[in-house]
Structure 1
Amino acid sequence: MDQFFKPNYHWLPRHIAFDDFKSGRFAPSGMSMILMNIENHRTIDIILSRRNYFLRYDRAARLAVRTVTVDLYTPYRHLIHELFPHAIIIADHFHVVAQAYRALNKIRVKAMNQAGNGSHQWRALKHFWKLILTPAGLLKYDNYWSRRNFGYTQLTDVEVIQRLLAFNDDLKQAYRYYQDFILAINHRSKDELNHLLAIKWTQLPQSLQKVQRTLRRHLKEIITSFKYGDYTNGPVEGTNNKIKVIKRTAYGFRNFFNFRARILLALPNSYFAINWKNKRTAHVQSQTRAV
């Protein structure tokens, strides 16, 4: 089957994205990689291991790459600078926002534990966890609902948030940081982002201190993503979810060759699937002419 698709090692798209996914025993590290053309969301290849793979491509092909969209995984940076010297790195928005998202949720859980299991504050913070993590622009300001956790008082989403944040100062600070960060990303505002990251990390709750340092370290990549707003790892993450379904329904594969072929055939926009379809069409036409 591999005869129908062999990567063209003399060419790479100008804008690529890649990410790891769990492949199990096939890869030495247990992780393989998805390589995608981020402009048209076409899967280029499923890679056993990123180690030495890109060296198969001509230097001219690697020099043609202009952007690489990835998450915040640090080892990627050295790999990209070495293999694609003309490319700039774009930090994926989803993974950037997830840094603050996870920190806020961790602080919420800590506030719950401090309040004590089964207490009023514990129950309220547990019940309204989705509300706390919702961007402020999506909260309801004028719709009232009876809230059991607050004595069946008629409250809007915003009023519930105000009561929840009054439980814990660290939670209030983390919530404001999270909302300001989302606004900066949505507005693609360099000034808003710089203003937020100018806060001394020692003034933030412990979970946010690590986030602040990480975001400062990748500041240039995040600002670059404002310019290339359409380039995200969303299509790559979607492909990763499809691979999980393939693994679950197949009940295992004997080797990586079959695993890779099955994935590429399942992706209608992959070069493998397109070439396979063209070959089958040509075969059918030749059989028809023969008859």
Structure 2
Amino acid sequence: RVLGNCSHRFIDSYEYLPAHLAFDEFKGVDRQLHFICLDGDNHQVVQILRTRYKKTLLKYFGRFSPQARANFRTVTMDLNFYYQDIVRACFPNAQIVIDCFHMIQMLTRSFNSLRVKVMKTFDKRSRQYQLLKSLWKLYLKKFDELEKVHPRYNWHYKDCLTQAQVVTEGINTSTTLENSYNLMQSFIQAFETGNTHELKSLINCQDQIGTLMHKTLLTFKHNLTAVLN
């Protein structure tokens, strides 16, 4: 019903497509994942489809004229592999660009999983366990944004520490955790400064960083061209 009321704003001609698109999905009716496509320049909705299945997307984009698909230039997306298959099948001249937000999200999730894993190796009453658990959100922030001057008392680990001291002592409980944290922070900084040389170097990191973080880097490496665009 909602889609019907706003569908008049979507592109209904199969002779035209914006030069730049963005693909993603969202949870809708009955918590099902639906496909959404935006104009990359003005962020207006181009189309919303009831499903995100590859067959559905190929059928929809296949309706556009060869000229409309040939004029299409870039598509921004996450690392969903079948989105890339769809672009290659339907848009011969399009360049795939991986959204930085999704990459940082993958890195933070990988690090957070490792933090929990390391935390569970300590006794629940220990200082190390409490440092890694009670203020876990601090580990996901940029280190430059952490409080470094005014310590605050925390009853979990019964000490006065600044936010930076909490994170520093927490990651020092494991070499793998420390390496993964430093890698995540370096990635965020490289993204913000557009340093593609540094990004390539980080993707090929040989440090001990944990299984899930290693798999994340392998995913980036397999999509290296799109990642560095």
Normalised TM-score (structure 2): 0.87
| Counterpart AA for 1:44 | V
Within 5 Å, give how 1:40-189 maps onto structure 2: 40-48=42-50, 49-153=56-160, 155-189=161-195
Unpaired runs of 5+ residues, structure 1, are: 225-291
Residue 227 (structure 2) aligned to one of 222, 229, 238: 222
- Residue type matched to 1:47 in 2? L
Q: CA deviation at 1:172?
A: 0.9
Q: CA RMSD in A?
A: 2.2
Higher RCO, 1 vs 2 (CA within 8 Å, ≥6 residues apart): 1
Looking at structure 2, the residues matched to 149 and 23 of structure 1 have their Cα atoms a distance apart, in angstroms, of 40
Equivalent residue for 1:10?
Answer: 15
SS at match of 2:92: coil
Count of residue correspondences: 219
% same residue:
29
Tell whether the 8 Å contact from 2:70 to 2:91 is kept in structure 1 after alignment: yes
Once residues 166 and 210 of structure 1 are traced to their aligned partners in structure 2, the CA distance between those partners, rounded to angstroms, is 23
In structure 1, C-alpha distance between the alignment counterparts of 2:73 and 2:8, rounded to whole Å: 28
Counterpart of 1:126, as a letter, is: K
In 2, distance between residues paired with 1:85 and 1:143? 56
**CA deviation profile, 1:252-278 (whole Å, cap 9, x unmatched):** xxxxxxxxxxxxxxxxxxxxxxxxxxx
Give runs of ≥4 in structure 1 deviating > 4 Å: 1-6, 23-26
Shift of 1:31: 3.5
Larger Rg: 1
Q: Which residue of 1 aligns with 2:53?
A: none
Contact kept, 8 Å, 2:75 with 2:97, in 1: the verdict is: yes
Q: TM-score, normalised by structure 1?
A: 0.70
Q: How does 1:24-39 map to 2 (within 5 A)?
A: 30-39=32-41
Cα distance in 1, alignment partners of residues 164 and 72 from structure 2:
46
Task: From the superposition, tell whether residues 25 and 104 of structure 1 become closer, same or farther in structure 2 (CA, over 3 Å).
Answer: closer
C-alpha distance 10-117 of structure 1, shift in aligned 2 (>3 A): same
Q: Does 1:210 align with 2:212?
A: no
Partner amino acid, structure 1, of 2:165: E
